Chain A
Amino acid sequence: MLKIKEKFLIYSIIILVIASLTLVVFLYAYCPPEQLKVNFLDVGQGDSILIKTPYGQNILIDGGDGKKILQELPKFMPFYDRTIDLMILTHPHDDHVGGLVKVLQRYKVKKILYTGVVHTSPMYLEWLAAVRRKNIPLVIIDRPQTIALGADLRLEILYPLESLLNKEVENLNNSSIVTKLIYKENKFLFMGDAEGEIENDLAPSPFQDPSTSASLQHLPLVRGGLDLSADVLKAGHHGSDTSNSEKFLEAVKPKYAIIQVGADNDFGHPSLRVLKRFERVGVEIFRNDLNGWVQVISDGYNIKINKEK
């Protein structure tokens, strides 16, 4: 004959076990609604975007300077998920590559996209060395192309137009990989640090009618043929004046713009003129220095934006 106390103990253990089993089954069977989450991480002065696709892929575009990335990532990835399916280095400046060095140390990275442009900063060389050490496939982007991430989700690489492998570029910002993420009807444009020249290369030019310019017919991506329209724009070069030209904004017609910028940075980013320009075009602006991290959630048709503060 068991005492009441012991009976109580046994029953509570049984209830606990059943409860946790139910929880496990529920979690296993539970399918979250298909959502695309684009997280603009607050890494101080620098870019870092973590894309979580509805199909479970993690895509990391740049990593900031490395001071904060390792604290930001866990806010958007569960503790058992240590895999980055695709890492994109837009260009090798320290405020983009620094964090990727740290990510390579801690996370399992499956594939990397990069232009191969030449740079000699110690941080970039360390990144290259780490990629080689870990034997991670490194794909050189030498032309515009499309990566299918799912039936209705694709990542278009718009720039560079030609191979920059082993080339020395005067302004590394203009070697940035420019990507457009398209999920059903929602579109995201990630400009990296690309400056005005690139924007003009991409944006349709009012002075050139593509139909009359026969020489450009076979290069539909250059000057005009490109659809830049997007709901969400990652503003080029931390909202600097050298990027985000009026003409370009008219071509993109974003509803929201995210400026990845650190508070009190040495460069005076973002430029007041650019902020005014966005306002004129009627774009809602989110900034990492004011809003902390910014999370854009899309179900393919509607966009919802969460922010840290």
Chain B
Amino acid sequence: MNLTKSKIFLWSCIFFIIGIAVASFLPAKFLCYDLWFFGMIVGLIVIIFLKRRERFQTAPYVLFFTFFIFGIWRYSVSLPPNTPDKIWHYNGQNVEFTGVVNREPDLRVDKVKLMVGARYIEINSNLSLPVNGNVLITVPLYPSYNYGDTLKIKCELKAPEQIDDFYYDRYLAMQNIYSTCYNPQITPLSNPPLGKGRELYSKILQLKSQLADAMSAGLLEPENSLLQGMILNNRGELPEELKNAFAQAGITHIIAISGMNIAIICVIIINFFIAIGVSRRAGLCFSALILGAYLVLIGWPASAVRAGIMAFIAMLAIFLGRLNKLTTALVFAGVLMLLINPKMLRDDVGFQLSFLALLSIIYVYPIFKEFAEKIIKSETRFASSILKGAIDIIILTLAAQVLTLPIIVLNFHQVSLIAPLVNVLVLFLLPFIMVSGLIAPVLSLFLPAWAWLWFAPTYFTLKYMVWVADNFVKLPLAYLEVEYVWLGWVILFYAVAGWGIWWYNKR
């Protein structure tokens, strides 16, 4: 068996991911032996090291197995230990604790969700213990709290629970939150000076909220929350009806800061650099830098950073043109993200969707494109460039849907049939919205009285987008509701799709 080095690397990564996948479905009692898994890894590494000169055929397989166990071990150490120095140890009790708001407050229409890192807990009146761990507290809109505020909180800690078929507990666990509390009594304490890093982060959040204020001064609802969702990752205030309409129309990916939005920003920047005479390679580097700066500006929320990495890979794909070579890069990026947070694999739908969408673009898009080109060649009327662009968007959205479809059905219970059409009608506007939506707030900082004028082009474009989504979902058969899907069908779907792609590439 002769595997090339890159193949060995790719398969090691894949086995690591499989290890995490297996571990995330194993019951917790198997996973508490993390030391044992660690020992096993050490043993396997010793074997590989000792036998390295013998060129034995099975060495790669031992390596794969090592990575598989490594995946299980990584997942098992991410589980929360239940000791008295962790805040979730006190779930179900009425407690009084001191903590610091350690994430940007999540503003909703009628409430705010704050993530508070616990510092001390009061056991009784004269004894307080240092603790750590995060608590998600839900508070009314006012009085408002900021990142870095130190608060004394009195409430009943609750372990998050599954809500209907939504694993809220697992969703919060992914963000390292194992305790929640609702409408606590809060006493703000004087803030100790933040560290340098936190100080900087708090400054960045202030800048971001200034941008958000400029947008809300210039736009009306719901266009304002739509733009803030697209550019600043502020999605809390999006009205429920709009979210539904966008999901049914199949354009949710433009609300969330997805790989797609970010990829668009990058493509614009690259094209700009190329237009002023910079080489492709330098353009790619510059846009990566600007991408980084943009992520910093919006406070590098985990979802946007993930999207940024994916977008960068997508850009590589588009600009290098060698789609298949990118599999290793994509899988390796996935491994890096899972090393940081192994819980994403099972519980972060966003991670699954962007990963699978990119896989789809790498493998399914070329198949569709070849098929479409055959048709275009046979029919000369399709030769005009606008039509070609439209067809390209259609097959790109169709292709991206192929591998993400089961995840969408499983999680959102609806499939948009009208998605390709709606995407064609709105996607071409995204670059304009992203650019004008970033220029207008800057202009209105200088001339705030005319804010509505600076925002007018963005406003009408967004309004058109909302109109399209609102009205096209009213068409018959615009979307299908799927109440329940048997997991077996999902597995079968991926098996067939995987086989199809393999067969096509072999041909």
Interface residues, chain A, with chain B CB atoms under 8 Å away? 65-67, 70-71, 73-74, 79-80, 82, 101, 105-106, 122-123, 125-126
Contact = CB atoms under 8 A, between A and B. Distances in A.
Contacts of B452: 79-80, 82
B483 interface: no
Given A66-B110, A82-B452, A71 B142 contact: no
Contacts of A65: 110
A66 B143 CA distance: 15
Interface string B99-117: 0000000000110000000
B140 interface: yes
A66 to B, nearest CB: 7
B80 interface: no
Describe B's contact surface by its main secondary structure: loop
A125 B459 contact: no
Closest 7 CB pairs of A and B: A126-B142, A74-B220, A70-B221, A122-B142, A71-B221, A67-B109, A80-B452
Given A70-B221, A79-B459, A126-B144, 19 more contacts: A66-B109, A66-B110, A66-B141, A67-B110, A70-B220, A71-B239, A73-B220, A74-B220, A74-B221, A79-B456, A80-B452, A80-B456, A101-B142, A106-B216, A106-B217, A122-B143, A123-B142, A125-B142, A126-B143
Contact of B220 (A66, A79, A101, A126): A79
B459 to A, nearest CB: 6
Looking at chain A's contact residues, is the secondary structure mostly helix, strand, loop, or mixed?
A: helix
A71 B223 CA distance: 9
A65 B111 CA distance: 12
Of A66, A71, A101, most buried by chain B (CB within 10 Å of CB) is A71
A71 B143 contact: no
A80 B217 CA distance: 11
A53 B143 CA distance: 35
Interface in B111-163: 140-144
Contacts of A66: 109-110, 141
Contacts of B229: none
Q: How large is the interface on B (under 10, 10 to 19, 20 to 34, 35 or more residues)?
A: 10 to 19
Contact of B216 (A73, A105, A126): A105
A88 B452 CA distance: 25
Contacts of B144: 126
A82 B140 CA distance: 27
A235 B36 CA distance: 72
Contacts of B110: 65-67
Interface of B: 109-110, 140-144, 216-217, 220-222, 239, 452-453, 456, 459
Contacts of A106: 216-217
Nearest to A80: B452
A123 B222 CA distance: 23
Given A79-B452, A79-B456, A80-B452, A122 B140 contact: yes
B141 A123 contact: yes
B101 to A, nearest CB: 17
Contacts of A79: 220, 452, 456, 459
A101 B217 CA distance: 14
12 contacts: A66-B110, A66-B141, A67-B109, A80-B453, A106-B217, A122-B141, A123-B141, A123-B142, A125-B142, A126-B141, A126-B143, A126-B144
A122 B140 CA distance: 8
Contacts of B456: 79-80
Nearest to B222: A71
A123 B216 contact: no
A71 B109 CA distance: 11
Nearest to B242: A71
A70 B453 CA distance: 19
Contacts of B109: 66-67
Residue among B141, B143, B144, B459 with most chain A CB within 10 A: B141
A265 B217 CA distance: 32
B242 to A, nearest CB: 9
Contacts of A73: 220
A70 B110 CA distance: 13
Contacts of A125: 142-143
Nearest to B219: A79
Residue of B109, B140, B220 contacting most chain A CB atoms (<10 Å):
B220
Contacts of B217: 106
Contacts of A126: 141-144
Contacts of B221: 70-71, 74
Contacts of B222: 71
B440 to A, nearest CB: 13
Nearest to A105: B216
Contacts of A70: 220-221
A80 B456 CA distance: 9
Contacts of B142: 101, 122-123, 125-126
